[in-house]
Amino acid sequence: MTHRLANVVIDGEDPRRLARFWAELLDWPVAQETDDEVDVRSPHAPWIFDLVFGTGAQPRRGKNRIHLDLASTSPGHQLELVERAVRLGARPADVGQHAVPWVVLADPEGNEFCVLEPRPEYADAGAVAAIVVDVPEPSAAAAFWSAAVGLPVGRDDGTVAGLRPPPGLPWVEFLPATAPKTGKDRVHLDVDPVGDQAAAVAELETRGATRADVGQGPEVSWVVLADPWGGEFCVLRPGVTG
């Protein structure tokens, strides 16, 4: 069965404020807005790919398990992106990065993201270079998520692993993490099964996913699962992207 990455979902206290920040920073349009959700849509992707800003954020407990890396095309462009982010309400963040060529910032609600120096591997990715996931077993996580979102493993050096996207979409990368997961993630992924939802859920369960209760209730159209390392994600009803 074919699956694909549909959304990156960021829960916050003020979804409209967060959506405005990210839409202006990335120069992406707002595609949909309701009282409790705002979808900001990539103009680069070969299919619908949104950053979805919703309510229900859990209290912050240290660094987010998932963050975004932004692409730059030159040192000047990198500096321009950092300056734009700060004007829009971002602030410098210290996640123990020390002296590195990328810049770590936090959005107006404290969600970390990186503005990368120019890297040729991200030249076709669009504004978001990568979705980065901290996980205890990067190679195993890459294998699981390759099946979950239908992207091939494009790199795996035994420490860092990544899924190669088609042009216009971000990489999905897995970095080693030792800190235990605590509480519901503020950032998670949505998977579009492009087929039967129940069959997709059953298949992912055979690969190690488990059902998760994050307070979603019985009325929602999506199914909440946790990957083998406890990270929540949603399997959407086909055709529902946000």
> What pLDDT shows up at residue 222?
93
Beta strands 66-70 and 128-135, pairing class: antiparallel
> What pLDDT shows up at residue 113?
98
Question: Distance between CA 213 and CA 200 in Å, rounded?
Answer: 18
Task: Reduce the DSSP state of residue 79 to 3 states and report it.
Answer: helix
Q: What is the pLDDT of residues 117-135, one digit of tens each?
A: 999 999 999 999 999 999 9
Question: Distance between CA 147 and CA 4 in Å, rounded?
Answer: 9
CB count, 10 Å around CB of 76?
10
Question: Distance between CA 69 and CA 71 in Å, rounded?
Answer: 7
> What pLDDT shows up at residue 238?
81
> What pLDDT shows up at residue 1?
53
Q: What is the pTM of this model?
A: 0.95
Structural domains of the chain ordered from first start: 4-235 (3.10.180.10)
> Confidence class of residue 87 from pLDDT cuts 50, 70 and 90?
very high
- Are 189 and 196 a contacting pair, CB within 8 Å? no
